[in-house]
Amino acid sequence: MKRIKTDICVIGAGSGGLSVAAGAVQMGAEVVLLEGHKMGGDCLNFGCVPSKALLAAGKHAHAMGTGRPFGVTPVLPEVSYGAAKDHVHRVIETIEPVDSQERFEGLGVKVIREFGRFISESEVQAGDTVITARRFVIATGSGPFVPPIPGLADVPYLTNETLFDLREQPGHLLIIGGGPIGLEMAQAHRRLGSEVAVIEGEKALGKDDPEIAAIALERLRAEGIVIEEGTKAARVSGEAGAITVEAEDGRRFTGTHLLVAVGRKVNVENLGLEAAGVDYTRQGVTVGPDLRSSNRRVYAIGDVAGGFQFTHVAGYHAGVIIRSILFGLPSKARTDHIPWATYTDPEIAQVGQTEAQARAAHGDALTVVRFPFEENDRAIAEGRTTGLIKVMVVKGRPVGASIVGTQAGDLIGVWSLAIANKLKMSAVANMIAPYPTLGEVNKRAAGAYFSPKLFENPTVKKVVGFVQKYLP
């Protein structure tokens, strides 16, 4: 058995683990990185990257049939599903070197391609190597949750971990789960020519503002995607090419392929957390605001820390703990400024509190300002007027923003910046956005907060009248 002593041992080479390893080693710490599966983790190989690449293929196909308002004769695109998947894998291969073992070894990280398991409070075993470290970082992420639906184990089904290797285009794709993953893949496949039905036990996009979600769902349905809400899957039966999902109410949905996209489960199994004295639940490792576990040597970041399950959160967590581990400085993670996005068309983005959350927290102190995309000149020029921004404001400061519309994921960054730095609405209103851009949506929303104070205030009108009458 080999033995290694190091400053930091990182378990998991996904977004968070790679960020910790790269930052720590370049600032002088000795780092051992353990990864038993693929470098880059879920995001690069099975999640964010391949899903957005497939959405891009669908967007090109959709554009070919929707050009008439612009004077472009629509044509029925000839789609090669296999070639679309080739595009997906080229994108992954292009990004792979940034996350590769070779790059990190070049930085000075000791990379061991084995799964890690705690064997004591200060030791992890990976293959035939035992690592003793001053600090450990658990960054094992999450994987697809497969619910115990009767019959599911007896039929072929897809998850996000297997979908992107599928070369045969689904003739009729059934999707159990109407969250971001399910609906993104529903739209991608519908635009590429598949029939698609989404079966959701509760509300589709249920974590988003209902008004915002409704706008996106209307578009998805208009493109021919069947979305059945309040429909719990009770049984699955059939075989490859003919799979049936039976709902609790007796309705039956039959398709050629089945994608299970009901959520994620954190990867805490087989880590030997009991041996390390690390408390955990099914939701993840139990950590404080400093992301430290019950074992002071051990931190957890990203999905496995039990909070938001987003790649950018894992990267943010990495920065938080690097401050603590490398410099011994107090550092705590926040959640109020963390944005998220769903990359359907139109996109949905959220940061901070939704309207319902803000009303519950602030009551009458809350002001909600709105601005529709249909009043933005760039959106009008591009025929992309479906959209709305809502900003929740308390005492002149934004506490949340909800956006649905083209490039919502890019637009939400302004509000994350404002909330992170406790800026007032005046900071966004004072911003100058190039004309014509969608960025003006943010500025106009901020302006909508001040308009009543300026245009409906009798005192303002009296002052202006006085100035106009008496000042030379």
Q: How far is CA 111 from CA 4, 88, 126, in A?
A: 12, 27, 11
Distance CA 220, CA 458 (A): 46
For the cut 90, the answer to whether the pLDDT of residue 452 exceeds it is: no
Mean pLDDT over 27-46 rounds to: 96
Residue 408: pLDDT over 70: yes
Q: What is the mean pLDDT of residues 331-347?
A: 97
On the question of pLDDT at 230 being above 70, the answer is: yes
3-class DSSP string for the chain: CEEEEEEEEEECCCHHHHHHHHHHHHCCCCEEEECCCCCCHHHHHCCHHHHHHHHHHHHHHHHHCCCHHHCCCCCCCCCCHHHHHHHHHHHHHHHHHHHCHHHHHHHCCEEECCCEEEEECCEEEECCEEEEEEEEEECCCEEECCCCCCCHHHCCCECHHHHCCCCCCCCEEEEECCCHHHHHHHHHHHHCCCEEEEECCCCCCCCCCHHHHHHHHHHHHHCCCEEECCCCEEEEEEECCEEEEEECCCCEEEECEEEECCCEEECCCCCCHHHHCCCEECCEECCCCCCECCCCCEEECHHHHCCCCCHHHHHHHHHHHHHHHHHCCCCCCCCCCCEEEECCCCEEEEEECCHHHHHHHHHHHEEEEEEEHHHCHHHHHCCCCCCEEEEEEECCEEEEEEEEECCHHHHHHHHHHHHHCCCCHHHHHCCCCCCCCCCHHHHHHHHHHHHHHHHCCHHHHHHHHHHHHHCC
- Which amino acids are annotated as binding site for FAD, given as ranges? 52, 116, 140-142, 303
pLDDT of residue 334: 95
Provide mean pLDDT across the span 202-224.
98
Is the pLDDT at 455 greater than 80? The verdict is: no
- 347, pLDDT greater than 90: yes
Residue 255 has a pLDDT of 98
pLDDT digits (tens, 9 = 90+) for 51-72: 999 999 999 999 999 999 999 9
Average pLDDT score over residue span 410-435: 97
The Cα 348–Cα 238 span in angstroms is: 35
Beta strands 388-394 and 366-372: pairing type?
antiparallel
Rounded to a whole number of angstroms, the distance between the first and last alpha carbons of the chain is: 91
- How many residues belong to the chain? 472
pLDDT bin (cut points 50, 70, 90) of residue 374 is very high
- Model pLDDT, residue 438: 98
Binding-site residue numbers for NAD(+) are 177-184, 200, 263
The yes-or-no verdict on residue 460 having pLDDT over 80 is: no
Q: How far is CA 12 from the centre of its chain?
A: 19
Report the pLDDT averaged over residues 112-126. 98
82-113 confidence digits (pLDDT tens)? 999 999 999 999 999 999 999 999 999 999 99
Domains in the chain with CATH codes: 2-39+100-144+265-327 (3.50.50.60), 152-263 (3.50.50.60), 339-455 (3.30.390.30)
Q: What does pTM read for this prediction?
A: 0.95
CA dist 49 and 54 (Å) reads 9
Q: Of all residues in the chain, what percent carry a pLDDT higher than 70?
A: 100
Sequence ranges of the binding site: 52, 116, 140-142, 177-184, 200, 263, 303
State the pLDDT at residue 466: 82
Residue 457 — very low, low, confident or very high, per pLDDT cuts 50/70/90? confident
Q: What is the mean pLDDT of residues 391-412?
A: 98
Question: What's residue 447's pLDDT?
Answer: 95
Confidence of residue 451 (pLDDT cuts 50, 70, 90): confident
